[in-house]
Structure formats: C-alpha cells, structure tokens
Amino acid sequence: MGKILNEEIANQLNQKFEEHVSVISEPSDIFNFETSRDYIVEVLTFLKTDLTLQFNYLTDITAVHYPEREKKFAVVYHLHSFTNNIRIRIKVFLEENDVHIPTATTIWDGANWMERETYDYFGIEFDGHPDLRRILNVDDMVAFPMRKEFPLEDPNRVDKKDYFFGR
C-alpha cells in the first residue's frame, strides 16, 4: 500500500463532509483543516474508522486563545495514522461566550485527561465528558491560566517597584 497523501485526505473529507470541512494550510509535513463543533465527532469517527485513512491514534487535544480574532478559541486535535505514517491537525473555532464542544471520549478513552487539561487551562467545556473537572490546578481556581486575559507580570509584586531600583 502506498503512502496516503494530504490531497487524498482532503478529497475523502470533501466527499464525505463537503463544505463542513475546509483546508486551512499545509505547513511543513502536517495537514491542517477546520470543521465545526456540529461535525467534529463525525469527522473524528470517520478519520479513525475509515479503512484507508486509519487515524487510530489521538496524539493530543489542546486549545489556543486568539484574543484578536472574532472566534477567540480554537480546540485543536492532533491525530496520527501509524499504518500510513502521517499526522493531521483538526481545528474547531469557538466564540468567546460559547466554548462548548462535544467530547471525544466516546471515540478514544485517552481523550479523557486531554480534555480535562484543556478545560483546566482554557475553560473549554467538553459536553458529555464523564468527569470534567480540573486536573492540574486547584479546584477552587476561578481563572483559566492559558487565556491571554491577564498581564504577563503581577502588578502587585513589591520587588518590581521603582523605589527598589532608585527610580
């Protein structure tokens, strides 16, 4: 069997999902495409179970905060096909006031902790997740530390005051 190329993946996704999947870019060796929250479970299931593509390994789920964009959050899935030795990245963009997306734990058990970490750091709500709660930060924390909403330095730090430096 020959190696599956990015064009073949794009063609199969276009045939199956038409306008619900679009190619974002193809930097270096990883194929990037976008879909919507309404189709993400169906797209992930197709990529995993298709006998030609066989993206059977979920490498990672994470998010990105884009404060300057209209849709401020992207949930990012990295998949790997060991059979075809190829990786892909799927992005779903979400509005700031509606950060809900269906869970991928129904497809991969390993999505459990990845989704918990993404919730913990970005506040993305994975609907249907069996145990969505903080995994690394304290339970009573009210902020999501990977969001770009806070200054890089704490303005209350006393060791940064000018009078300590003779200014």
For residue 14, being part of any structural domain is answered with yes
> What domain range is 82 assigned to?
6-107
Q: For residue 54, give the nearest of 31, 84, 12 by alpha carbon.
A: 84
pLDDT tens string 64-122: 999 999 999 999 999 999 999 999 999 999 999 999 999 999 999 999 999 999 999 99
Q: Label residue 1 by pLDDT band (50, 70, 90).
A: very low
For residue 82, being part of any structural domain is answered with yes
Rg (CA), the chain: 19
For residue 152, being part of any structural domain is answered with no
Domain total for the chain?
Answer: 1
Q: Label residue 28 by pLDDT band (50, 70, 90).
A: low
- What CATH number should be reported for the domain holding residue 53? 3.30.460.80
pLDDT tens string 110-158: 999 999 999 999 999 999 999 999 999 999 998 899 999 876 666 676 6
